[in-house]
Amino acid sequence: MKNAILLHGTCSEQEYLDSQSPPLSANHWFPWLQKKLLISGIHARTPQMPDAQKPDYLKWKTEFEMNMDEDVKILIGHSCGGGFLTRWLSENTRSFETVVLVAPWLDPDRVKTTDFFDFEIDKNLPSRIKNFSLFISKDDDIDILDSAEIIKTSLPSITLYEFENRGHFTIEDLKRNDFPELLEVIIREVV
């Protein structure tokens, strides 16, 4: 059985502390995608990253690697989770079948993080990933579009899926809790 890890992004302090808000790992399209992958025979984990309101790379790395095993062949990261995967993959030599970065954030202006994104993208990264994709929406925030441009420039062979009017691919922007285009790409690339 192939395994997947789905990584969420960051949030505000208010959202993090709000007991009425679901954890980020169970928000937006994450539960839907996890269930669809399970139905397709892919065991999907959605770890809750520590202190998502103020991401710390070493804490996230520890949590991520606790969920990593040799059966993990698929990685999906949204927002800060996509930025985290970009760094982690650049600092490790492991190969994967499929990696999808959804609206990845690298905090290009260092507004929220200090050293979380203090790294250089490994230009050889695509040689270790069979199917490497980037999902962006033209109406996302400028820092996400800037992050996507950094990734596209560093990794020109990445497959780009560009959308209109999807914002940051959150439930508020999508107006729904599913993401069939993402599922289709994952399933198509894994089969």
Q: What is the per-residue pLDDT across 25-72, written as a single tens digit (0 to 9) for each?
A: 889 999 999 999 999 999 999 999 999 888 999 999 999 999 999 999
pLDDT of residue 113: 67
Q: In this model, does residue 141 exceed pLDDT 70?
A: yes
Percentage of the chain beyond pLDDT 90 is 80
Question: The whole model's pTM is what?
Answer: 0.94
Phi-psi region at 167: left, alpha or beta (left = phi > 0; alpha = psi -120 to 50): left
Does CATH place domain 23-190 in 3.40.50.1820? yes
Contact 46, 24 (CB under 8 A): no
pLDDT of residue 46: 95
Ordered by start, the domain boundaries in the chain are: 23-190
- Interval 62-103: pLDDT, tens: 999 999 999 999 999 999 999 999 999 999 999 999 999 999
Interaxial angle between packed helices 80-90 and 57-66, expressed in degrees from 0 to 180 and rounded to the nearest 10: 80
Q: In this model, does residue 112 exceed pLDDT 70?
A: no
